[in-house]
Structure 1
């Protein structure tokens, strides 16, 4: 399968095709929030993002910055060749429950220690996820957990026809 043609970034934008593989973890300076069931369930200025070739950033928020009771350990596990073994969480607020909508790496591999005690969520499962003043949209395809904002351009893994990238 041939590599897609990257979209040229404008001033102030990043191309996901300039992100590294293996991925890189970096701190986020903007406020990051998550809403579910009509309420703010996470609010932080201590997020980190994981940048990987062809993927929009995945944001990881400190577990301590979620409201009490919002995260409930769930069945399921997966393995990332870079970050290690992941566990999953249901995300709850009031009567709203999103099963398996969050994950973390409790013992990440060397180089990814910044992910310890942090949670990522699927933006598609939440009411709203923001980075700074912008509402993020989910990475296409439903499998990946990236958040798309106006600061990143693709094409993105998960777009139709991207399975073989």
Structure 2
């Protein structure tokens, strides 16, 4: 769980939720219909969940688009009290919104993001910037810093990348990621896959897989062709999952980290 800098900034509820007000202007849309338009959102952290979600004052939600949920779930979202289906232009998003029983949050409505579990709105914005996957945590840092360190990346003993001009990306809670200029990568050993993912801190990534016969997971390499401004230094550069490749930095082998990606990558190899 994120460590907060001041106890005064974050408040808690009897259910174990942590929350704090945000000054960001947040909007959520389904197609061209704005469902949420809030200048007074709150960020909420559920117990055991590393990323926050937003809850919004009822007055800043189009409640006429909400319907009492026909099949409300159980055991999801700590302390959730009432679930709503969201109906927009004839399309029903089941259990896409809910309320919390905590007194401090009783007049707020939270929403699922991007159909993560089969429901949710299509687009979310903070100010004029689209946000992907989940809200950004204000207590988390992501820094992309150019370097002159000597970086070598190997897959199954084959050097795939070697550079003295990497960009190191430091992200709270994750291992350092090493981004390599394309001219320093053996692109002939990689195959684009058409796979894409989104990150609220970096943008939309495209992926490559290893062409060789080594027993490695697919989509092992990624790049941000149009990253968010805060990490613009990684634009077009390629990064590799440290969890599944061998990286040497200034002559020293970097230990493969164990992260929440480790199990997923291993399962992809077995499949």
Q: TM-score band (shorter)?
A: 0.5 to 0.7
Distance 2:164 2:2 in 1: 39
Largest Rg, 1 or 2:
2
CA separation of 1:106/1:23 partners in 2, compared to 1, >3 Å: closer, same or farther? Answer: same
CA separation of 1:61/1:97 partners in 2, compared to 1, >3 Å: closer, same or farther? Answer: farther
Kept in 1: contact 2:197–2:206 (CA 8 A): yes
Partner residue of 1:54 out of 168, 173, 176:
173
| Other-structure match for 1:90 | 209
Distance 1:108 1:80 in 2: 10
- Report Cα offsets for 1:13-64 as digits up to 9, x if no partner: xxxxxxx833111012210001123221210001011112222211111121
Kept in 1: contact 2:174–2:259 (CA 8 A): no
| Other-structure match for 1:131 | 249
| Other-structure match for 1:120 | 239
After the TM superposition, which residues 19-58 of structure 1 pair with which residues of structure 2 at under 5 Å, given as runs?
21-58=140-177
Question: Taking structure 2 as the reference length, what is the TM-score of the superposition?
Answer: 0.43
CA separation of 1:2/1:65 partners in 2, compared to 1, >3 Å: closer, same or farther? Answer: closer
**Larger RCO of the pair (alpha carbons < 8 Å, separation 6+):** 1
Kept in 2: contact 1:84–1:107 (CA 8 A): yes
User: By how many angstroms is 1:111 displaced?
Assistant: 2.2
Question: Taking structure 1 as the reference length, what is the TM-score of the superposition?
Answer: 0.67
Kept in 2: contact 1:46–1:61 (CA 8 A): yes
Distance 2:215 2:223 in 1: 18
How many pairs align? 127
Task: Give structure 1 stretches of 5+ with no counterpart.
Answer: 4-19, 145-165
User: By how many angstroms is 1:2 displaced?
Assistant: 7.3
Task: Give structure 2 stretches of 5+ with no counterpart.
Answer: 4-138, 263-271
| Other-structure match for 1:80 | 199
Kept in 2: contact 1:43–1:66 (CA 8 A): yes
Q: Which has the larger share of helix?
A: 2
Q: CA RMSD in A?
A: 2.3
1:66 aligns with 2:66: no
Q: Which moved more, 1:102-111 or 1:134-143?
A: 134-143
| Other-structure match for 1:105 | 224
